[in-house]
Structures are given as C-alpha cells and as structure tokens.
Amino acid sequence: MFASEAAARPWQETTPPSRVLAIRMQAFGDVVITLPYLRALQEMLPGSSIDLVTRQEDTVLPRAVRLFRHVDGVGGGRSERRQLLRTPIILPRLASRRYDVVLDLQNNRISRTIRRVLRPRAWATFDRFSPESAGERTRQTIARAGFGLARVAASLPLADPAAGDGLLRSAGYDPSHQLVVLSPAGAFPTRNWPLDRYVRLVERWPPGRCTQFAMLGLPALAEKAAWLGDALGGRLLNLVGRTGPVEAAAIVQRAALVVTEDCGLMHVAWVSGVPTLALFGSSRHDWSAPLGDHTLCLHSGDLECGDCMQPACRYGDVHCLTRWSADEVVSRALALLDRASTRSTPPTITISRCT
C-alpha cells in the first residue's frame, strides 16, 4: 500500500473509547474544516475526551473552541522536515495519555510516526488524493475508524463568543444593522475577484437592508483594505490586522453573510453556519468548496482551464473570476440571505452548492 492511500483498523470494542486523538497539520483553513466533524464525534461519544495535534501556529482557534481537552502544537512552521525534527518533543506527553483511537487526518510522515509510536487499538488515515471535499474525506476517515456520523452540524461554538465585540464597536459597528464580511484574501492573483467588483457590490446593495460591511484578516491585506476604504468613502469597517484567529471567528459568527475568496476565513464562516458565498478561481472546488445548503460556490470547474491550481493565469485575464459581475454576486448573495431567513433548523454540512 502506498503511504498516501487511506487505511484503517476500526474500533471493535462494545464500550466507547476513553481517549481519541485527531491529527491535522495542514494550513489554517484545513484545520478549521475538521472541527465540526470532530464536534459531531464528541456528541456521538459524550464520555470520551478528544485531543488535537496541529501546527504550533494553528493551535489558537482550536483551543478557543468548546471541544478539545488538549491541543498540542508541533513547531517547525510549514516545513515538514523541521516539523519532523520537533515531533519527538511532544511524543512523551502524547504517549502518557494512552489514546485508544488515533484519527490521522493528515496522513504524512509526521502523523504516521505519531500514530505508530502511540500504538492505538483503533486508527484511520485520511485519503489525501480523492477528488472529494476535504470535509467529506474527514467524515470518511472517522467512519473508517468505526464511528459513522449521522449528522454534522455547521457550528463552531467558541468559549468566548463575544471575543470580537469590542473591536466591532470601536470600528463603528451598529448592532441594529446586518453585518456583511468581505474577504478578498485569496492567496494568488488567480484567486482574487477584482477589488473594484467589491466596491460595486457595496454600491449596489439594497439600501433598505440596513447593512454594514467589514473586512478583517492578516496585516498582509492592509493595502487592499485601505484601497477599498478610500473607494467606499468610509462605508467599510476596516479591522484588518486588528484581529487574532479567535476575534476574527467571533466577528464572522456575528455576520449575516460572508462574501469571500478561497481563504481561511471562508472556512471559519461555513463551518460556523454563516451564509457563505465563495468566489473560486484557480482553486479546486471539489476539494475546498464550502459545504451545506447555507453556502454557494461560484467556481471555475465548468471551464476547460478551470480548477487549474496555478498562481498565474495562462491567458492573462483570470476569466474564471472576472466573468462574475457585482450585480450577479449581489443577486446570488441576497438569495442566499433570503434562504437563510426561512430556515427552521440549524444548517448541517452535507454536499456543496456550486454553480
């Protein structure tokens, strides 16, 4: 069997496991995707404790979610080699907890090393290359370990849901208004909807909706936020560079809608059950599109060159994104909001709504 293939030894005891360890060490958004599935597992196994191992820089939000007993971080940044060198630091601590089940949601050298050292009675590994969403592959991994999840709620309960309230007030937020978060945070030009489209989106938004728009994220977005702020004449609440992961998640959970590119904040939004309209350019929508009927993904999979995963457009026009007008996005966003307003039950994570 190749190391990249999924494998498992399912739990076969009649009593539930006492301790479960999940491992996910990819980018921030990938870690966020695992959280509602692990929360559903916790609801299925209320007497079990669930822990998480992730990259050191991604431990902040999981520690702020009402879910894990322990969240352990592996140093080394994004370098797998450096992570592997630092993994022995946490192994004695993990081994002392005597895990019954290990959910290897990464399936790389580090996660496999941890699982083999811990020698759990049951385990399962993530399918890294299947053309299915990361969320669905997470659910399948948990099922292969012996725990089929009947329902996964789009919910990310924070220990402090008011963590971002002070920042919102300081930026001028009026709680009587709907909050729409804009996130032009795609990592490459081929993942960026043109900034002037965001301006037109705000200008074309129905005034009767009593809406305020906000932008938040890492300091790297400061130039975009300043440009949008200038173009919108102060109609944008600029919180870029002022929020950590917990404050950002709390603010997103206050939002009525998030209009976003493929980024970590997008994943925070949809796993929290917030109506999410995602604009995908070069990203693989089959892997990364938000899931559930509270979401909509405008992706490039219908194009011959779509889902290319390239940082630069081979044709130079990024047509996969520029074809979406502000009017079209506003129309779709309002439909998403209207659908959310008629919902009688909390959203669940099922299949993606793409177009």
Residues 6+ apart with CB under 8 A from 226: 238
Query: How many whole angstroms separate alpha carbon 274 and alpha carbon 295?
Result: 8
Determine which helix (DSSP H) or strand (DSSP E) holds 195, and give its type and residue range: helix 195-204
In angstroms, rounded to a whole number, what is the distance separating the alpha carbons of residues 67 and 286? 28
Q: How far, CA to CA in Å, does 143 sit from each of 9, 10, 194?
A: 11, 8, 41
pLDDT band for position 351 (cuts 50, 70, 90): low
Please give the domain boundaries of the chain with CATH numbers for all domains: 8-144 (3.40.50.2000), 165-341 (3.40.50.2000)
The string of pLDDT tens digits covering residues 245-295 is 999 999 999 999 999 999 999 999 999 999 999 999 999 999 999 999 999
Q: Which H or E run includes 71? A: strand 71-74
Q: Is the torsion defined by CA of 326, 331, 334, 340 positive or negative?
A: negative
Query: For the chain, what's the residue count?
Result: 355
**Tens digits of per-residue pLDDT, 75-123?**
999 898 999 999 999 999 999 999 999 999 999 999 999 999 999 999 9
